[in-house]
Structure 1
């Protein structure tokens, strides 16, 4: 019998590179700011009220620091996975985001920076993870601590949309986005 799987997607709090306006991508070592820790604590309180039974996190530092706040608030341990990482921007990581509007082809889901990944790659990575969770859910409500573009990809996958149809709006730092995945085996 199929039952829905609820995903609670937590976007990490503000990082030092968010504050500086730098493209982060999969740069691993970027920590949260004081404001980011405050945002993460607020998201953790919201998450705890929603009652997740399991939690996974991106393995990038800004997400792990956010997941630590979520773990403290929920009492859940978490595991990390590279499947929840942000879209990789390769050679563009660390550059000011405002410089990239003329460099990145935001309309082509197959475009990727040198050493990075395309939106299509990101969408496929997230779809594979959500497929595994749908097939073998660790709980009926699962928290995923992750990144803005990864959340947009999860929203598209849950809605049956491809990488060219991902939502344009990225959730703010320290927010919780609820998604339902139909068809979990139960």
Structure 2
């Protein structure tokens, strides 16, 4: 059995500003985000991951750098662990989206974006690869809120319609068994 430690990146500048991030690559952590990442890194050190993989988006890479400093474990990056893509909606105030997004349709996506069903499938494919060839008994994945929710559903055997409603907090660690 492989233990997955899913680390959500620290608060980003767009989290703080209430903007939809999605797969916008360049968004950095705030000072609070760096503090949250250091806190997650300290907790991760005690959990002793044997391997670490991060989303290739800047906020996750910055968080993984803190985790690497604390654990001494180098990391690789992959686009498979990116946040759900919101296409043309990225950079807009999140509050505006409640009237634009059909949150009840797992196949809905914004222009240039990705549906929940597509996110779920992407995460399932990545986890299938980990299951087939785990790099260690304990693997840290530094990633994003929707990606963690998708992983929770996949590993529970649920489809995208059953993804948990609650997004893990910035700088938190969610433990799952693969």
Q: TM-score range by the shorter chain?
A: over 0.9
Q: Which has the higher strand share?
A: 1
Q: 1:39 aligns with which of 36, 41, 56?
A: 36
Q: Which runs of 5+ in 1 are unaligned?
A: 182-186
Q: Cα deviations across residues 80-127 of structure 1 (Å, max 9, x unaligned)?
A: 000000000000000000000010011110000000000000000000
Q: 1:131 aligns with which of 101, 107, 128?
A: 128
Paired residue for 2:140?
A: 143
**CA distance in structure 1 between the partners assigned to 2:68 and 2:126 by the alignment:** 21
**CA distance in structure 2 between the partners assigned to 1:123 and 1:5 by the alignment:** 20
Q: Which runs of 5+ in 2 are unaligned?
A: none
Give 1:161-180 correspondences, 5 Å limit: 161-180=158-177
Paired residue for 1:19?
A: 16
Runs ≥4 residues deviating over 4 A: none
**CA distance in structure 2 between the partners assigned to 1:68 and 1:7 by the alignment:** 18
**CA distance in structure 1 between the partners assigned to 2:162 and 2:105 by the alignment:** 11
Give 1:1-186 correspondences, 5 Å limit: 4-181=1-178
**CA distance in structure 1 between the partners assigned to 2:35 and 2:121 by the alignment:** 32
User: What is the root-mean-square deviation in Å for CA atoms of aligned residues?
Assistant: 0.3
**CA distance in structure 2 between the partners assigned to 1:5 and 1:111 by the alignment:** 33
**CA distance in structure 2 between the partners assigned to 1:128 and 1:72 by the alignment:** 29
Q: TM-score, normalised by structure 1?
A: 0.95
How many residue pairs get matched? 178
Q: Cα deviations across residues 107-154 of structure 1 (Å, max 9, x unaligned)?
A: 110000000000000000000000000000000000000000000000
**CA distance in structure 1 between the partners assigned to 2:158 and 2:106 by the alignment:** 12
Give the C-alpha shift of residue 74 in structure 1.
0.7
